[in-house]
Amino acid sequence: MSYVDEIYAKVVEQNPGEAEFHQAVKEVLDSLKLVIDANEEKYRKMALLERLVEPERIISFRVPWVDDNGQVQVNKGYRVQFNSAIGPYKGGLRLHPSVNQGILKFLGFEQVFKNSLTGLPIGGGKGGSNFDPKGKSDREVMAFCQSFMTELSKYIGADQDVPAGDIGVGAREIGFLYGQYKRLTGLYEGVLTGKGLNYGGSLVRTQATGYGLVYILDEMLKNNNKELAGKTVVVSGSGNVAIYATEKAQQLGAKVVALSDSNGYIYDADGIKLDIVKEIKEVRRGRIKEYASAVPTAVYTEGKGIWTIKCDIALPCATQNELNLDDAKALKANGCFAVAEGANMPSTREATDFFLANDMLFMPGKAANAGGVATSALEMSQNSQRLSWTFDEVDAKLKGIMVNIFAKADDAAKRYGVAGNYVAGANIAGFEKVVDAMMAQGIV
């Protein structure tokens, strides 16, 4: 059995019930096979892959809090500190009922390579809880966040582990978490990113993942003699990533015709009016269905099905495994020629393989959504310098980073004889830097 197959079998055996983690490891290891086979003896001796797939540490804790009826609630809390070879652990916190250790391990594992690709000195981690902020009052969300941070604060720090937002964690939650960290430790430091602009946040962080996604999409299109202007785009989700991907795509001349949430999707043949979406989602925390009541040209459909809408470009920006093989086939049949992932692993393995086998341009999440964490790292730099850069300065750096990520993925794919396969390219380029650092630092 090859070293790669051996390690994958061990991961499945030793991490039972963690399907998303298995899926992420398989996808990465398969595309690294060429590199690993070429260095097998060296890597085996150093147990490099065994170390790469095992988190340095997982912290798991209980999160008790009191709801508005005076009832005590208990949630599970986690922080997966996956790999610190190239910098302090960095990665978001997710608050969603589906959160479990396996999902956070998949996200932490992906984060290691993504952070490496940014070219910035950040290791990989991820955390969160099965707490559901939906339908909770502000006081309940604060009570949860304060309890969560009371435990988490023991394990994080500006030079140790710097969490950020993810699904269910936006400006409100980061504010509550930061306030509690400061109160417990007395430290006013860059321990979280995605902070408000008045207390250490960076301009562009809110927009960064969505903008970055469109910057790298644009770069991929240009390099393949295509352009974004005039194209019809379908975006799934209607959260942070989806909203700002839509905004940048519109700024660059594309027409975004659909958005969704976990209940259903809207189709607006005239193009999405983003100010209305922002009012529904960012101000009122409402459902995407409300868009169809406000805009006569829009149609709302309950349930899944967003990928059956005809488009040139698809940007999945909701959650993992939201786009399966049938969806991929429907996209292709309708003329879609490019897919870039705003979410983490939104396409199933079968869907990804279909895109690659059918010559569709495909940019995987770990490259395409790296703009968020890259801008978080820029926020850390500003915090350390006690300076704030302008919107244009940060935006220009973000764009430069995304163009550079494309170049690295493109170059690695070409070097290993799989030109145009940006899945392999991104994995190889991310892997090379982490592995060099791990080899240099000895057996740790």
* Active site members: 126
Token readout for 157 is 């720090």
For ligand NDP, the closer of residues 165 and 175 by Cβ is 165
- Contact call for residues 38 and 435 (beta carbons, < 8 A): no
Q: Does 277 bind ligand NDP (CB under 6 A)?
A: no
Interface with ligand NDP, residue 240, by CB under 6 A: yes
Candidate list 149, 241, 257, 298; residue touching ligand NDP; CB under 6 A: 241
Rounded Cα gap, residues 112 and 122, in angstroms: 8
Residue 23 sits in the site that holds ligand NDP (CB under 6 A): no
Q: Is 392 exposed, middle or buried (0-12, 13-18, 19+ CB in 10 A)?
A: exposed
Question: Rounded to an integer, what is the distance from CA 45 to the centroid of its chain?
Answer: 33
Q: At what angle do helices 391-415 and 370-385 cross, to 10 degrees?
A: 130
Q: Is 329 exposed, middle or buried (0-12, 13-18, 19+ CB in 10 A)?
A: middle
Q: For residue 203, what are the CA distances in angstroms to 199, 316, 399, 439?
A: 12, 25, 14, 36
262 contacts ligand NDP (rule: CB under 6 A):
yes
Q: Are strands 123-129 and 313-315 parallel, antiparallel or unpaired?
A: unpaired
Please work out the total of residues on this chain that contact ligand NDP, with binding judged by CB under 6 A: 23
| Minimum CB distance to ligand NDP smaller for 123 or for 168 | 168
Could you say whether residue 165 binds ligand NDP (CB under 6 A)? yes
CB-wise, 343 or 367, nearer to ligand NDP? Answer: 343
Alpha-carbon gap, residue 10 to 121, rounded angstroms: 30
Question: Cβ(130)–Cβ(100) under 8 Å?
Answer: yes
In sequence order, the 6+-apart residues with CB closer than 8 A to the CB of 328 are 307, 347, 350, 351, 354, 355
Nearest CA to 315 out of 444, 435, 212 is that of 212
Q: Which one of 18, 110, 140, 166 is in contact with ligand NDP (CB under 6 A)?
A: 166
What are the backbone angles phi and psi of residue 61, rounded to the nearest 5°? -150, 165
Q: Quick one: tokens of 48?
A: 């490099």
In three-state secondary structure terms, 360 is coil
Min CB(265)–ligand NDP separation in Å:
9
**Half-sphere exposure (CA, 13 Å, Cβ side) for 156?**
35
Selected range binding ligand NDP among 261-269, 332-340, 347-355, 385-393, rule: CB under 6 A? 261-269
Residue nearest to ligand NDP (CB): 239
Residue ranges with strand state E in 42-181: 57-66, 72-83, 89-95, 123-129, 161-164
Interface characters, 368-387, with ligand NDP (x: CB under 6 A): -x--x---------------
Separation CA 351–CA 331 (nearest Å): 10
Query: Position of tokens 């086939």?
Result: 329
- Of 55 and 239, nearer to ligand NDP (C-beta) is 239
Position 116 contacts ligand NDP (CB under 6 A): no
Q: How far is the CB of 285 from ligand NDP (least distance, A)?
A: 9
Run of H or E including 430: helix 422-440
Among 149, 167, 233, 249, binds ligand NDP (CB under 6 A): 167
- Which residue, 4 or 191, has its beta carbon nearer to ligand NDP? 191
Q: Which is nearer to ligand NDP, 220 or 343 (CB)?
A: 343
Q: Closer CB to ligand NDP, residue 36 or residue 204?
A: 204
In this chain, which of 55, 102, 125, 168 binds ligand NDP, going by CB under 6 A?
168
Contact string (CB under 6 A) for ligand NDP, positions 330-369, x = contact = ------------xxx------------------------x
Please say whether the beta carbons of 129 and 148 come within 8 A.
Answer: yes
Q: In this chain, which stretch among 9-17, 176-184, 256-264, 395-403 interacts with ligand NDP, using CB under 6 A?
A: 256-264
Residue closer to ligand NDP by CB (options 154, 285) is: 285
Asked if 185 touches ligand NDP (CB under 6 A), the answer is: no
The CB-of-340 to ligand NDP minimum distance in angstroms stands at: 12
Smallest gap from residue 126 Cβ to ligand NDP (A):
9
125 binds ligand NDP (CB under 6 A): no
Contact residues toward ligand NDP (CB under 6 A) are 165-168, 209, 237-242, 261-263, 317-319, 322, 342-344, 369, 372
